[in-house]
Structure 1
Amino acid sequence: MEINEIIDAIYPLTSVSKNLIKKSIVETKFPKGHILFKADKIETSIYFIKKGIARAYAYSDENEITFWFGKEGDPIVSMQSYVNNQKGYEDVELLEDCELYELKTEKLHKLFLEDIHIANWGRKFSELELIKSEERLISLQFNTATERYLALLENCPSIIQRVQLSHIASYLGITQVSLSRIRATLK
């Protein structure tokens, strides 16, 4: 996905403001399996996925718990680092070879002070991330595993073909055996 589409999907900007952000963005590539973010580290960049897929996870009793997937167009951000300049709690692993747009957080925060349109874009970016987190929390609290799986199929069908079932089961909060049963029941 091209950077213009990604920026516009968050919040439309004037061409001058959009160009200021674009001047601060660097394209980068990393291979499948690369750990982009490491827990207990302040992350100094946010990324937008041009091509590829990633997952965020944390550890619980030595088990990896996947709580987020990102695909083309999605941001990769440690909100704890982005908002509070504090260490994040998540690891982010690239599940495919990825092409990313990198934006240094410090540069973006400077742009917020210089351009009200970019500041509003940043506010909208944070609001959208908050809504995603809220929807995820509500889904885990109120939906059955089958309902969560069906929502994943509806909202992001490519994840099922591109991500290991163990990661999907973890994301849904179930075992891989339970996921296999749900998939068999739905066929």
Structure 2
Amino acid sequence: MKQLLEQLTNIHHIGEEASNALQAAVTQVVLPKNEMLITEGRVCRHLYFVEAGSLRGYYNLEGKEVTHWFGFENDFVTSFHSFITGQPTVENIQLMEGAVLWGISKEALSALMDEHRELERLVRIAYEKYYIRLEERFVNAHFKTAAERYEQLLNDAPHILEKAPLGYIASYLGISQETLSRVRSRF
């Protein structure tokens, strides 16, 4: 819980009253490696903070798993479209290693934001950061070569290369494992 509060304070200051209300609203979730946090077709009703462990978000496309994001310690994870709209998700979220998460329901988060202005601001800032990462992924996928995408991953998020299997990394970069091997040999 301490780690969650520190991370939130790094985003935006929250007062003691809001902090206490938030602590009362979150629940610790401990899951083993390979467990599914959410599966396609279900509504994602919780936002999670990763205290320890790693996850990936992926789609099933024509019989293949397409990894589109990774989540690690101090990240917030959810199926955002489903969480915000209440519609069934088209993605899956799987643990790549055992994890300790802190979860809050959409209803509890909405009530907290109505009651505590600083929490509403904090969530808005977190959503803005998520949007920026999403736009960067879009630009990278459409306008950069495989080598450029790998180099950016190497520079910006080397922890992904340490924690995720190569098949997931290749999928994340939108390339085959063979292409990933060729690109990696150049670095």
Q: Please give the TM-score of this superposition, normalised by the length of structure 2.
A: 0.94
| C-alpha distance 77-9 of structure 1, shift in aligned 2 (>3 A) | farther
Does 1:71 pair with 2:78? no
Per the TM alignment, residue 16 of structure 1 is displaced from its structure 2 partner at its CA by: 2.0
Gaps of 5+ in 1: none
CA deviation vs aligned residue, 1:139-172 (integer Å, no higher than 9, x gap): 1111111111111112221211211100000000
Per the TM alignment, residue 19 of structure 1 is displaced from its structure 2 partner at its CA by: 2.2
Cα distance in 2 between the residues matched to 1:30 and 1:51: 10
Q: Helix, strand or coil for the counterpart of 1:43?
A: coil
Query: 1:159 maps to which residue?
Result: 160
Query: 2:86 maps to which residue?
Result: 85
Per the TM alignment, residue 17 of structure 1 is displaced from its structure 2 partner at its CA by: 1.6
Cα distance in 2 between the residues matched to 1:15 and 1:124: 19
Q: Helix, strand or coil for the counterpart of 1:93?
A: strand
Query: 2:42 maps to which residue?
Result: 41
Per the TM alignment, residue 12 of structure 1 is displaced from its structure 2 partner at its CA by: 2.2
Does 1:108 pair with 2:126? no
Query: 1:30 maps to which residue?
Result: 31
CA RMSD of aligned residues (A): 1.3
Gaps of 5+ in 2: none
Cα distance in 2 between the residues matched to 1:26 and 1:185: 45
Q: Helix, strand or coil for the counterpart of 2:40?
A: coil
Q: Structure 1 residues 110-119 or 60-69, which shifts more?
A: 110-119
Per the TM alignment, residue 101 of structure 1 is displaced from its structure 2 partner at its CA by: 0.9
Q: Report the residue type matching 2:163 in the other structure.
A: R
Does 1:11 pair with 2:12? yes
CA deviation vs aligned residue, 1:93-121 (integer Å, no higher than 9, x gap): 00001111111111001111112111111
Identity between Structure 1 and Structure 2 (%) = 31
Q: Report the residue type matching 2:114 in the other structure.
A: L
Per the TM alignment, residue 52 of structure 1 is displaced from its structure 2 partner at its CA by: 0.7
Cα distance in 2 between the residues matched to 1:183 and 1:66: 19
Does 1:184 pair with 2:176? no
Q: Structure 1 residues 163-172 or 112-121, which shifts more?
A: 112-121
Q: Structure 1 residues 113-122 or 41-50, which shifts more?
A: 113-122
Q: Report the residue type matching 1:36 in the other structure.
A: L
Cα distance in 2 between the residues matched to 1:17 and 1:5: 14
Query: 2:52 maps to which residue?
Result: 51
Cα distance in 1 between the residues matched to 2:84 and 2:12: 19
Q: Report the residue type matching 2:21 in the other structure.
A: L
Per the TM alignment, residue 81 of structure 1 is displaced from its structure 2 partner at its CA by: 2.3
Query: 1:169 maps to which residue?
Result: 170
Q: Please give the TM-score of this superposition, normalised by the length of structure 1.
A: 0.94
Cα distance in 2 between the residues matched to 1:113 and 1:90: 29
Q: Report the residue type matching 1:148 in the other structure.
A: R
Cα distance in 2 between the residues matched to 1:109 and 1:64: 33
